[in-house]
Amino acid sequence: MIIRSKAPLRLGLAGGGTDVAPFSELYGGAILNATISMYAHATIQPRNDGRIILNSMDKKESYTLDSVENLAIDGNLDLHKGIYNRIVRDYTHKPLSFELSTYVDAPPGSGLGTSSTLVVAIIGAFAEWLKLPMGDYDLSHLAFEIERIDLGMAGGKQDQYAATFGGINFMEFFKEDKVIVNPLRIKEKHLDELAHNLILYHTETSRLSSKIIEQQTKNILAKNSKSLEAMHKLKEQAVMMKEAILKGELDKIGEILDFGWQFKKNLADGVSNDLIDEIYETAMKNGASGGKISGAGGGGFIFFYCPGNNRSKVIESLNRFGGQTKRYEFTTKGLSTWTI
């Protein structure tokens, strides 16, 4: 028997950062994101020899362990171990024996929510195997708790819900970890045009998002006026983006992205740098009407809105920076699981 799952990565189109505590707890957050045709994959093969094998195919890491109730969190595939520990604690109450293999279509630090999406995919595979009674909200919240609470990894809440639900969603974040996912019904022609005009460019660099998020958190706790204003403007941006996409006013997308990017840079040191600034300015000079870095910032993917027939010119202008433009499509489906 083979159990498989896949969950889509996401583009955070607007409101990024407002899903991160303490801002979401104090003021409420709002984000608009969209899943794309890049995935985190997980495969489970049950065993009966009292062993656990953990494989990360993209990281080229593999560990063979004894099947016990609690695996040590020691810096080696801790996401995999943390999920297993929680599944045993909450559901099976006894050790399991299996081989778990994972792969993500984008590198770590890319800004597409890779780690959280991988958590969702792995939980989904366990839920499929063990027939666990989980709805979409249950699974998303469990993924959030494992990553942010059990493993203490800095970050927000949007990625887990995006990967589970899929599609284009306007998400609202409230106190006590309450989240509401509002799926947007968008005309197909508008979605096709958005995908055509929105180019996804990988800088061939990565960043440690936790450092930027930790600085962002400190700024909010210290009531840094510059960072607080930026957060409120990004929350406002999410509403602006929702209205523009629903109304099909796509020419406003670039302007709204640029509005958010100017404020996002004020959240914390390291969101941007000289290379990112130069890439952004080059794209704008060659026909992009706006853009932003994906995720917390500092590296990874940047996306730009290129209206009219400017797409090719913008891509050509970015070639000198040594990065790559990634082809993708928007997806309407979230987590998928199946058994062979």
The residues assigned a catalytic role are: 159
327 burial (CB, 10 Å; 0-12 / 13-18 / 19+) is: exposed
How many CB atoms neighbour CB 258 within 10 A?
18
The DSSP result for 317-332, as a single string, is HHGGGT-EEEP--B-S
Give bridge partners of residue 172 from the DSSP assignment: 30, 180
Q: Note the Cα 268 to chain centre separation in Å.
A: 19
Q: What is the SS3 assignment for 116?
A: helix
34, 195 contact by CB (below 8 A): no
Amino acid at 21: A
d(C-alpha 272, C-alpha 265), whole Å:
6
Helix (H/G/I), strand (E/B), else coil: 302: strand
Residues in CB range of 284: below 8 A, 6 or more apart: 258, 290, 291
